[in-house]
Structure 1
Amino acid sequence: MITVTGARKNYGDFAALDDVDIEIPSGSLTALLGPSGSGKSTLLRSIAGLETLDHGTVRIAGKDVTDVTPQKRDIGFVFQHYAAFKHMTVRENVAFGLKIRKRPKAEITKRVDDLLEIVGLGGFQNRYPAQLSGGQRQRMALARALAVDPQVLLLDEPFGALDAKVRADLRTWLRRLHDEVHVTTVLVTHDQEEALDVADRIAVMNAGRIEQIGAPDELYDRPANTFVMSFLGTVSKLNGVLVRPHDIRLARQPELPAAEQGEAGTGVIRSTVERVVRLGFEVRVELRNDATGELFTTQITRGEAQDLGLVAGDTVYAHAPIGVRDGADTPA
């Protein structure tokens, strides 16, 4: 387990970490999610020992490592940029940490071969980093970090420099890798989809503080406040209530179904269809609130869109039964 208590870090007048407390369970994959400047990378680097806290403690597996050097914290660290040794082969790059620790040659060979198979680079041992794709170089970097069998694996925006398709493929691969090796992993990302896709737990950070921490479903379905809801997925605003676009129901008539009449929510909103966009299996409907003029968006299935027969200029009635009132600290 990683335990950070009362962590504070200032750069001049800027509070990068403002009294942060967090526990990261052993064997979990926890994402630190937030916008630029929220403190997520500073927190990760503080766990690694690459930043010195102004106040607070860091414990790894019960040991206070607050004043311990990074080399003695038993961690693996992977940055956004690969930091590969260009003059070394893939095998030599992955073996580097083991050679520094003077492990037996046979042990190094077996460990490196096993890891390269795990990360899908079994046939690339003798290639150089320049001969690999970006995704392959990042897999090599992860294998190198895992080679020394660290207690903790820290990933700082590891896929940020890659294109969207490669990022998506590597997210799936990272989740499978974690399920196989079970090393305690902390992932820094500003990508909401990435956090939801790979993490067991997500800590949403803002202005040097943790707004909420929990399982992805918990944060998505029961956000603690409007910041968490707005940052973790798309939102629409109806009558001062923030809702998920896929929770908005559309109808041709203003009457709610009997099953929904007792539900708290946005109320029924007379709206005008501005645009209908078909996105494969789903349809995005862009609407204007007739009373306020505010634009909002809903996502419905192709079947629902066909049943409603929506076209630009149509009048429809929108309603969402759940949400977070704009400016509130707790779910509505």
Structure 2
Amino acid sequence: MSISVIGANKRYGDFAALDDVSIDIPEGSLTSLLGPSGSGKSTLLRAIAGLDRLDSGTVRINGVDVSGASPQQRDIGFVFQHYAAFKHLTVRDNIAFGLKIRKRPKHEIKAKVDELLDIVGLTVFQKRYPAQLSGGQRQRMALARALAVDPQVLLLDEPFGALDAKVREDLRKWLRQLHDEVHVTTVLVTHDQQEALDVSDRIAVLNKGRIEQVGKPDDLYDRPDNVFVASFLGSISRLNGELVRPHDIRLGRSAEMVYPPAETALDTGVIKARVKRVVNLGFETRVELVSAASGEEFVAQITRGDQNALRLVAGEDIFARATKVPQLSAD
């Protein structure tokens, strides 16, 4: 089912949570609403779900205006950051709950729950209670429960926000695989740019109640509309007056080392810089530098292999060049 939000406005006193927001979410897509706290992403999600009524504007699901419909009438599955599990029910009964209150036949409930337990990898844990599960397992149970009633749309509000980094990474991969299996139109709210880049077909970047840009992850990363989108979709540095990604900065001990043979140091904007700090981060190294000409600080990210070859240390002078500059269409 496709989703369209047209001219959405929502205020809380003097605060504009949504300011004339319009967005189309294609059928079967996984779209992330990405932005900082207070940007309006959760308000937009709740407006789609019918949990928050808009002051003005329209929400359409598959072309039908549902702006005045209750959450129950919209046929939407919703998963929050906190699992809201029924503590006195087993995993199996939690997943079956929505089907039971809809008075589905017992054989249908059994078949559907068996299928979902297999999909989310909880078959061996089906007789356990929520307190006996890990955080990641509880969140998978919550997703299975939301999917049990075959919703038109699945809405996820920071579903992995309370989990540690490794579990979040595993669940991101699992969510993408799950979406590819069930193909339900999914909207994910997150403030984590890596999460959005990892799982999404499309990303909408929100800021101060407005949508800054919507598009495919690669398009937003490589061709951001403005500085805000560029900075929120990943780290940026300023080199020779240009905004660049830290991993697109090449470092070397001579000017000749940082530009291709067919070019010249002048053509490629090679600058001299002093190393301020070197931080090894697992498979990569972050190098904090200061431009000799402008005194401006910037950051480069290089591979551990490059660092092993260069052996950079704080206090020494090196040369730097941007190998790629994002094409901003506006400031």
TM over 0.5: yes
Are the aligned partners of 1:247 and 1:321 in contact in 2 as well (CA < 8 Å)? yes
Corresponding residue SS for 2:123? coil
User: Cα 1:79–1:259, aligned 2, differ >3 Å: closer, same or farther?
Assistant: farther
Partner of 1:257: 260
1:132-171 map, 5 Å: 132-171=133-172
Deviation at 1:287, TM superposition (A): 1.0
Q: In 1, Cα distance between the equivalents of 2:242 and 2:191?
A: 25
Deviation at 1:290, TM superposition (A): 1.4
Are the aligned partners of 2:274 and 2:318 in contact in 1 as well (CA < 8 Å)? yes
Does 2:31 correspond to 1:30? yes
Q: In 1, Cα distance between the equivalents of 2:209 and 2:46?
A: 14
Deviation at 1:308, TM superposition (A): 3.1
Are the aligned partners of 2:136 and 2:171 in contact in 1 as well (CA < 8 Å)? yes
Report the TM-score, using the length of structure 2 for normalisation: 0.94
Segment drifting more, 316-325 vs 135-144: 316-325
Are the aligned partners of 1:264 and 1:321 in contact in 2 as well (CA < 8 Å)? no
Segment drifting more, 187-196 vs 291-300: 291-300
Q: In 1, Cα distance between the equivalents of 2:233 and 2:102?
A: 42
**Unaligned runs of at least 5 residues, structure 2:** none
Match of 2:310 among 308, 311, 323: 308
Are the aligned partners of 2:255 and 2:265 in contact in 1 as well (CA < 8 Å)? no
Deviation at 1:302, TM superposition (A): 2.9
Corresponding residue SS for 2:205? strand
Partner of 1:241: 242
Deviation at 1:305, TM superposition (A): 2.7
1:286-325 map, 5 Å: 286-323=288-325
Over the aligned positions, Cα root-mean-square deviation in angstroms equals 1.9
Partner of 1:217: 218
Q: In 2, Cα distance between the equivalents of 1:45 and 1:263?
A: 53
Q: In 1, Cα distance between the equivalents of 2:267 and 2:42?
A: 39
Partner of 1:195: 196
Report the TM-score, using the length of structure 1 for normalisation: 0.94
User: Cα 1:277–1:49, aligned 2, differ >3 Å: closer, same or farther?
Assistant: same
1:1-332 map, 5 Å: 1-254=2-255, 256-260=259-263, 267-323=269-325, 330=330
User: Cα 1:63–1:274, aligned 2, differ >3 Å: closer, same or farther?
Assistant: same
Seq. identity, %: 72
User: Cα 1:263–1:20, aligned 2, differ >3 Å: closer, same or farther?
Assistant: farther
Are the aligned partners of 1:275 and 1:287 in contact in 2 as well (CA < 8 Å)? yes
User: Cα 1:263–1:40, aligned 2, differ >3 Å: closer, same or farther?
Assistant: farther
Deviation at 1:17, TM superposition (A): 0.4
Q: In 1, Cα distance between the equivalents of 2:113 and 2:39?
A: 37
User: Cα 1:199–1:87, aligned 2, differ >3 Å: closer, same or farther?
Assistant: same
Deviation at 1:114, TM superposition (A): 0.7
Q: In 1, Cα distance between the equivalents of 2:216 and 2:312?
A: 37
Deviation at 1:314, TM superposition (A): 2.0
**Unaligned runs of at least 5 residues, structure 1:** none
